[in-house]
Amino acid sequence: MSAGDRDHIKIFAGRASQALAQRMCDHLNLPLGDGHTELFPDGELLVKVNEDVRGRDCFVVQSTSDPVNANLMELLIYIDCLRRASVKRITAVIPYFGYARQDRKDEGRTPITAKLVANLITAAGADRVLCVDLHAAQIQGFFDIPVDHLSAATLFCEHFEAMRGEFGDLVIVSPDVGNVKVANMFASMLDADLAIIDKRRESGMKVASRNLIGDVKGRNVLMVDDMISTAGTVCEAARLVMEKGAARVISSATHPVLVGLAMQRLNDAPIEKVVVSDTIPNGDRFKPIEHKLEVLTIAGLLGDAVHRIHHDMSVSALFRSGGESKR
């Protein structure tokens, strides 16, 4: 960016996305905004911006991953801090949007928490939102401010295209029917066949994959999804395709939530490699599966989107190059 841009645009980072925000700034040749978060002994948060931001275009990068409530609260306080500092515009950059799975009432007397979170972000003072691979694309409509919804599909497709020769006879597997649209796009881009797993969830913690639609016998399998949470779905799916004669299994997902028994399950599952992005910070907690894990950075895609938003350029070109949304 030009010197004028560097003076006018500011990118700040919450504690959950410091490394990713720094990579975005490196991509844009910008310094990371000077701000920090303090934690009081009673658990309250104080966000302090240490430079002049009046009249500037500000972006706050913060994934609302575990600890979800603390990270969400920090994002809200950061937005409020900037709003009271008289910035020109605030964009909440949320690489991983927590509470996205609570997007509808599927039984009586339950909340739609994704809508509540959208209301909170808007009320705090955000002017627009930038996010990646929402678990449910309709969450864009929960906001009363503009939402730019990016897909990491192109990032992953480019990575796997570079490996296409070693994959040989490849089949893309969707671990559930809700992800078929994205899996089909991967199959088209990688010139591969498509297979679908009919997943039946027995409970919130237990998933049983029962039926496979398609042929995987003797073939290399690439499973694609938007997130791996407890890893129940992907590990059960991996066992199913191996039982059906698959030669090897590689799994990919944008968001490595990886909670509960996820590490143990991925270690025990017949999965050769797990490819994820850095929408959620990867630290020491990933060590149990570091021999299987490969992390791609989403910083370039987010940085390009920030550049386009700042210059009032169309972001739809990134949508087109970023592939399909889940649903």
- Which residues does the annotation mark as catalytic? 199
Q: Say if residues 271 and 224 touch (Cβ distance below 8 Å).
A: no
Nearest Cα residue to 214 out of 247, 181, 244, 190: 244
Q: Which two tokens stand for residue 14?
A: 């919450």
Q: How many CB atoms lie within 10 A of CB 201?
A: 13
Q: Say if residues 52 and 8 touch (Cβ distance below 8 Å).
A: no
3-class SS of residue 323: coil
Q: How many CB atoms lie within 10 A of CB 42?
A: 5
Q: Which two tokens stand for residue 128?
A: 């627009």
Contacts of 119 (CB under 8 A, 6+ apart): 142
Place of tokens 């994704």: 114
Nearest Cα residue to 132 out of 111, 157, 149, 110: 149
Q: Are strands 293-296 and 207-213 parallel, antiparallel or unpaired?
A: unpaired
CA distance 317 to 174: 26
b/e burial code for range 103-133 (CB count within 10 A of at least 16 → b): beeeeeeeeeebbebbeebbebbbbbbbbbb
To the nearest 10 degrees (0 to 180), the angle between helices 180-189 and 153-162 is 40
Q: Which two tokens stand for residue 100?
A: 């996205």
Residues in the chain: 327
